[in-house]
Amino acid sequence: MKRENQKNPESFRDSVATIDESGRRNWIYPTQPFGRFYNYRKYVSYLLLAILFVTPFIRVNGRPLFLFDILEGRFILFGKIFWPQDFFIFGLTMLTLIVLLVLFTVAFGRIFCGWICPQTIFMEMVFRRIEYWLEGSASKIRLRDQAPWNWEKIRIRVSKWVIFFGLSFIISNILLAYIIGTDKLYNIVTAPVSQHLTGFIAMMVFTGVFFFIYLWFREQICIVVCPYGRLQGVMLDRNSIVVAYDYERGEPRGKVSKKETENLGDCIDCHLCVKVCPTGIDIRNGTQMECVNCTACIDACDSIMDKVNRPRGLIRYASEENIAHKKPFRFSARLKAYSVALFALTAMLFFILLSRPDVETRVMRVSGQLYHIQEEEGTISNLFNLHLVNKTFSDIPIEIELLDREGRIEIIGDKDLTVKGESSTQATFFIYLPREQLDRRSTSLKIGIFSEGEQVGTTKTNFLSPVN
């Protein structure tokens, strides 16, 4: 990669733009970008914010569409309830999402960071825009930061803090709505604090964390905290499409007045792409870990190219292969392998989701009990525990029957095995089998689970008997 204007072309990798040599924070004052990508990102962010804020209030048959109640171990996805017993489905879903993210990163770089990540959307499309609206341009914010405190500064800064805190409070409420549901959230908000002290503390902690992030920590989340950005180095290859500077076209860079005399490239070294960058990097140095693919530098450079009558796209979405050898996007072997893995995982996930029974049944022999012999009726009995989990919202009456043996089942105590919606129940029962059927110490049994005459599940267990 050509970088004639630097003594050591790779020296930028030795440091992070937001931290100075003494380890102190270098505050970034990005200029507000304008342009077609910024507009597209605004529309995408409006849509995603609307989805984020509306979803907790959507009900399916009176239940939330999504609920991630980690406190009670109860999860609702697309109106279907999931229990800790379904944890493997969550594991598989997470695995599928990770492969999806890796696949997208290999193909399209950090498109997720720039367009979908809530951190970028809230920071760049909500809080930063409010800051520009309240404080003015990036240079005004910088000057105000350096200026001594006066009434004007106090008025603007206090207004900003109040608005940021209010927004952080709203975001934390929405987050809580996903965890505890809107009904419980409404109770916490409307009832006296003393009645919901834990909920109130959780709300304030979340609010404080968001306020801290959007007022002060900002891009450090992407640079220092988020592991996804750090994995970029191992996921990207020369065919990945990222926000990239076309050094073949741009170099050697130089002022527009020198172009004719010094045979310069298209980059006029105006630094606008650096000034708009929210992570403070110079994309002309090449793909960097700090780049969140926000496209601000594309818009900035396009506006400059328009002014100097050169074609747009000096900074654009492109792969290294495309820039260096003008090669179009290629579906590489790695991409193909990831796609196959993703397809297999998604198919497995759908199969598990669709075949998941409404009632989960577990039958286990009561510990310490072997068998009883009923000499008069010529049967042998075993005692079992039955555990039923209802994964729907409605009550389900249950009957159990032997599927592959002659014999009978006798439930001990309450014969009604109705499992209430979203809950579980236990029962104990005997299985009696004719002695002549049993010719080995352990016989495998199939038990059918029925509800109102319809089979809703099957389970297996072992029946013990003396060897004849």
Print the binding letters for residues 210-249 with ligand SF4: x by CB under 6 A, - otherwise: ---------------------------------x-x----
Please give the structure tokens belonging to residue 228. 């996804």
Interactions with ligand SF4, residue window 311-330 (CB under 6 A): 314-315
Element (H, E) at 444: strand 442-451
In the complex, what is the shortest distance from the CB of residue 284 to ligand SF4, in angstroms, rounded to a whole number?
6
| Alpha-carbon separation of residue 111 from 31, 102, 107, 222, 229 (angstroms) | 21, 11, 9, 14, 11
Residue 317: strand pairing partners: 243
| Contact residue for ligand SF4 among 103, 175, 213, 272 (CB under 6 A) | 272
- Strands 66-69 and 399-402 come out as unpaired
Contact, 457 vs 417, CB < 8 A? no
| Contact residue for ligand SF4 among 279, 285, 361, 379 (CB under 6 A) | 279
Can you give the C-alpha Rg of the chain in angstroms? Answer: 32
Q: Is 276 in the site for ligand SF4 (CB under 6 A)?
A: yes
| Contact residue for ligand SF4 among 223, 292, 323, 363 (CB under 6 A) | 292
Contact, 114 vs 124, CB < 8 A? no
In the complex, what is the shortest distance from the CB of residue 223 to ligand SF4, in angstroms, rounded to a whole number?
10
In the complex with ligand SF4, the residue whose CB is nearer, 276 or 431, is 276
From the CB of residue 265, how many other CB atoms can be counted at a distance below 10 Å? 20
| Contact residue for ligand SF4 among 295, 322, 361, 465 (CB under 6 A) | 295
Q: Is 398 in the site for ligand SF4 (CB under 6 A)?
A: no
CA proximity to 402, closest of 359, 344, 363: 363
| Contact residue for ligand SF4 among 180, 301, 363, 380 (CB under 6 A) | 301
| Contact residue for ligand SF4 among 28, 102, 203, 277 (CB under 6 A) | 277
Q: Is 16 in the site for ligand SF4 (CB under 6 A)?
A: no
- Residue identified by tokens 């793909």 is 287
| Contact residue for ligand SF4 among 296, 398, 417, 447 (CB under 6 A) | 296
Q: Is 138 in the site for ligand SF4 (CB under 6 A)?
A: no
CA distance 78 to 211: 31
In the complex, what is the shortest distance from the CB of residue 278 to ligand SF4, in angstroms, rounded to a whole number?
6
From the CB of residue 177, how many other CB atoms can be counted at a distance below 10 Å? 21
The span of 16-24, 143-151, 276-284, 354-362 binding ligand SF4 (CB under 6 A) equals 276-284
Q: What is the per-residue DSSP string for 116-155?
A: T-HHHIIIIIIIHHHHHHHH-SHHHHHHHHHSPP-HHHHH
The span of 41-49, 70-78, 267-275, 420-428 binding ligand SF4 (CB under 6 A) equals 267-275
Contact, 457 vs 357, CB < 8 A? yes
Residue numbers at the binding site for ligand SF4 (CB under 6 A): 243, 245, 250, 253, 267-273, 276-279, 281, 283-284, 291-297, 300-301, 304, 314-315
